[in-house]
Amino acid sequence: MFVDEATWQFIDEHLQEDVRQLALQKNKYKDIDFDFALRQIQGRQKTRDKLPLLASIPRFVFPPSLALEQCSSEITAKYKRIIINDILCRDTACRVSIENDPDKSSRNTACRVSIENDTDKSSRNTACRVSTGNHRIMADLTGGFGIDTLFLSNLFETCHYVEPQRQLCDILSHNLKLLQFEHVQVHQTTMEDFIQDMEPVDFLYLDPSRRNAQGSRVVSLEDCTPNIVQYKDILLQKARKVMLKLSPMLDIKRALAQLPETKEIYVLALNGECKELLLLLDVGVQKPLQYHAVNIWLEGNSMKELCFDFTDEEEQNAIPKFDSQVGQYLYEPNAAILKAGAFKSLATHFGLNKLHPHTHLYTSDSLIKEFPGRIFRVQNIYSYKDAKTALKTIQKANVAVRNFPQTADELKKSLKLADGGAVYVFGTTLDNGQKVIISCFKEKVKLS
């Protein structure tokens, strides 16, 4: 990929400008690759939060907007590097230390190896590589923009990037050269063709496209490209461990029925919003299905993690206590917990009472600071009828419903409340079947 100096200079000079206004001035800049320049400016502007490090690297090339939309964020790619390292090292004596803190009990405060750790940009290719031990070869069979390739390949001596689109292959080749990532090999072909003659590798990673031929979004495995259900057997012949990045909207139970080789599920949330569903397929020893409900966030330059691990058996066998009395504290699980389905095991693990079998809210009289979700200090509990009168003095509140006959908007309207404020109002059902309105304030908890 060749881009002349005048085009790069134009990009540098107009990084902060409105792309729509720049587009109207195309006739003024006939000596540069104007369309390429606009795409780069727009790419950097769109990815300042999603890809802050890469967006700051001069002459790093960005693809068209669809590939940007579909790629992983830097923080989720870095987290995947941590968990893949854990997976690969479980059965070996080697241990690649990614976290600055070797104490796994404090993993929520752990940092990670990253490209920016090397201040000498000329040696990037070695500074962000780690001692690979037995981790020799991986393949990213659905390469796309290559964000996961860039961050996951650090764990391996060799990485194969597979992508059918010529433009994306050219872009990654340019970026690899810029970053001096000599251990990544680019293959312009489809996954279906590449795996036929591929030698077995240590690890396979796939992020199937969730767009159909018409450009519409799809969720189910069989509608994605490539069709993992169709090719799972050959994938597991080529690597003992296969990781799939899937839509957070996917029905987990249906996916497990289609992919019984799944040994672990990671539900990955960023700042409380589910972003990725990761399935680890493994032909190794049979063991209970393991779930990892993970929420990650940034505090300054440090990545924080709050993870709740449980097995399928633990959830099935858990016997929580149900209570029609709401204690001093109310607990709402984070999005990863809810998606993973840790409804009963969460209660037994933290010693909380559940309000109702179908109400995923929990209560206690003592504060459980480590709870993976939001914590509220209960102010009052009202019957639905009494709430209309009791809450008249409140002009606005944050209204939510859990196992309640009205939607949040309907309840808000009936209580004549506007959005916002410091008060939180939950419409819910207790174990005795009573419909109640709980008013509360959010408890500020600082995790260490």
Higher pLDDT, 185 or 65: 185
Most confident listed range (163-172, 280-289, 297-306, 386-395) = 163-172
Average pLDDT over residues 162-188: 96
User: Quick check: 365 pLDDT over 90?
Assistant: yes
347's tokens: 């209660």
User: Quick check: 91 pLDDT over 80?
Assistant: no
User: Quick check: 379 pLDDT over 80?
Assistant: yes
pLDDT in the model for residue 236: 95
Per-residue pLDDT band for 413 (boundaries 50, 70, 90) equals very high
Per-residue pLDDT band for 123 (boundaries 50, 70, 90) equals very low
User: Quick check: 381 pLDDT over 50?
Assistant: yes
pLDDT in the model for residue 217: 79
Q: What is the pLDDT of residues 213-233, one digit of tens each?
A: 767 777 788 888 899 999 999
Distance linking the first and last C-alpha atoms of the chain? 47
pLDDT in the model for residue 448: 42
pLDDT in the model for residue 383: 94
pLDDT in the model for residue 248: 94
Give Cα 27 to chain centroid, integer Å.
Answer: 42
Per-residue pLDDT band for 405 (boundaries 50, 70, 90) equals very high
User: Quick check: 239 pLDDT over 70?
Assistant: yes
Q: What is the pLDDT of residues 177-199, one digit of tens each?
A: 999 999 999 999 999 999 999 99
Per-residue pLDDT band for 89 (boundaries 50, 70, 90) equals confident
**Minimum mean pLDDT range among 51-55, 89-93, 114-118:** 114-118
pLDDT in the model for residue 92: 62
User: Quick check: 396 pLDDT over 90?
Assistant: yes
Average pLDDT across the chain, whole number: 88
Phi and psi torsions of 225, nearest 5°: -125, 120
pLDDT in the model for residue 423: 96
SS3 per residue for the chain: CCCCHHHHHHHHHCCCCCHHHHHCCHHHCCCCCHHHHHHHHHHHHHCCCCCHHHHCCCCCCCCCHHHHHHCCCHHHHHHHHHHHHHHHHCCCCCCCCCCCCCCHHHHHHCCCCCHHHCCCHHHHHHHCCCCCCCCCEEEECCCCCCHHHHHHHHHCCEEEEECCCHHHHHHHHHHHHHHCCCCEEEECCCHHHHHHHCCCCCEEEECCECECCCCCECCCHHHCECCHHHHHHHHHHHCCEEEEEECCCCCHHHHHHHCCCEEEEEEEEECCEEEEEEEEEECCCCCCCEEEEEEEEEECCEEEEEEEEEEHHHHHHCCCEECCCCCCEEEEECHHHHHHCCHHHHHHHHCCEEEECCEEEEEECCCCCCCCEEEEEEEEEEEHHHHHHHCCCCCEEEEEEECCCCCHHHHHHHCCCEEEEEEEEEEEECCCCCEEEEEEEECCCCCC
pLDDT in the model for residue 446: 67
Query: What share of the chain in percent tops pLDDT 90?
Result: 77
pLDDT in the model for residue 102: 34
> By the 8 A CB rule, do 205 and 148 touch?
yes
User: Quick check: 422 pLDDT over 90?
Assistant: yes
pLDDT in the model for residue 445: 79
pLDDT in the model for residue 79: 96
